[in-house]
Amino acid sequence: MTKLYEIREVLITLYKRYEKWVLPVLKFIFALMVFSKLNGFLNYAKVLNKPIIDVGLAAMASFIPGNWIILLLIVVISSHLAYVSIEAVAIIFIIMLVIYLLYLRLVPKMAYLVIATPLLFSLGIPYVLPVFAGLFIGPLAIIPIGIGIVIYFFGGYIPSIVAIKSTDLTNIPDSLMSMYKTIMDSLLDDKAMLLTIIIFIAVILITYFISRLEFDYIWYFAIIAGGVTNMLGFTVGNIILKTDISLVGVVLGSILAIAVVAACQFMKVSVDYSRAEKVQFEDDDYIYYVRAIPKIKIAKQIKKIKRINSIPK
């Protein structure tokens, strides 16, 4: 166990020393995965589905805030759709712009959750997100993750939406209304999407509230509770709503979520409950009873060099 703490200290030290370089690199890798997945999925504008374009967009995203990345994604999506349907560009652009103006513009940091949600779904590891958000962010993560879930499931309906085309300019209003009705009907009838939103909200809230209790190792109990809630929620919901969500994937994904988030918590903070102390102090108005738990820190080993002088002849 001591070796793990030593590795942890080394990684934290390296991160703090090179933080100004590490963060842009991580943002670049994240953005590269997002743009490559997006361009590969839409693939209407063949000119955009090239590695050099993905790298260029990712490099640009590495140095801009999260809400600006959303605007960049809106431009890329609109560019793809413009190759097949002007009506689809108009209606989808308006929907995305409304979401941006009403929410993401006001809370730019939450934009990363919106982007990460469909990305993790496409990678097959979405269940890490609600457990992570419940432990490290809290209920504020519900809205951006909910938006991300809707965006991911909405992506599956894009082919049927762009297939609705007007034959001439006079039919454009009818095509727009038909597209809007298709979008709303598809989303409201999508039981898998609704179930996912409900379960993710439950996991976030349960993980968050349990992590705020005062017990030893409570963070790890909260992580396990979130993973178990995810498994039970999707199992019961799948039976009731008869969705096509893979329960094997849910179980494996929940176990992975527990392991990944536990590792993140270990890297964030690790405490020694065996050395906990109760402290009492007071001021003019209150008497305070505080339980102080020291963080685990491994002292750096000091290398000693012993010089052996040669014996003079």
* pLDDT surpasses 90 at 233: yes
Alpha-carbon distance of 114 to 149, in angstroms, equals: 8
Tell whether 80 is covered by a domain: no
Per-residue confidence (pLDDT) for residue 173, from 0 to 100: 78
Q: Does residue 205 or residue 102 have the better pLDDT? A: 205
299 pLDDT band, cuts 50/70/90, is: low
Per-residue confidence (pLDDT) for residue 172, from 0 to 100: 73
Q: What does the pLDDT average to over 49-66?
A: 92
Nearest to 208 by CA among 268, 143, 136, 262: 136
Residue with tokens 């009818």: 174
Three-state DSSP at 239 gives helix
Tell whether 277 is covered by a domain: no
Alpha-carbon distance of 152 to 160, in angstroms, equals: 15
Per-residue confidence (pLDDT) for residue 231, from 0 to 100: 96
Tell whether 38 is covered by a domain: no
Nearest to 207 by CA among 113, 264, 130, 100: 130
Q: What percent of the chain clears pLDDT 70, i.e. is strictly above it? A: 93
Report the domain count for the chain: 1
301 pLDDT band, cuts 50/70/90, is: low
Tell whether 259 is covered by a domain: yes
Per-residue confidence (pLDDT) for residue 270, from 0 to 100: 83
Tell whether 280 is covered by a domain: no
Tell whether 210 is covered by a domain: yes
pLDDT digits (tens, 9 = 90+) for 24-42: 999 999 999 999 999 999 9
Per-residue confidence (pLDDT) for residue 161, from 0 to 100: 85
- Quick check: 190 and 211 in contact, CB under 8 A? no
Residue 206 lies in domain: 116-270
Per-residue confidence (pLDDT) for residue 228, from 0 to 100: 97
pLDDT digits (tens, 9 = 90+) for 123-179: 999 999 999 999 999 999 999 999 999 999 999 888 888 888 766 666 777 778 888
* pLDDT surpasses 80 at 307: no
157 exposure class (CB count in 10 Å sphere: 0-12, 13-18, 19+): middle
Q: Does residue 210 or residue 176 have the better pLDDT? A: 210
Q: What is the pTM of this model?
A: 0.88
Per-residue confidence (pLDDT) for residue 170, from 0 to 100: 67
Q: Does residue 186 or residue 302 have the better pLDDT? A: 186
Per-residue confidence (pLDDT) for residue 264, from 0 to 100: 93
Tell whether 230 is covered by a domain: yes
207 exposure class (CB count in 10 Å sphere: 0-12, 13-18, 19+): buried
Tell whether 56 is covered by a domain: no
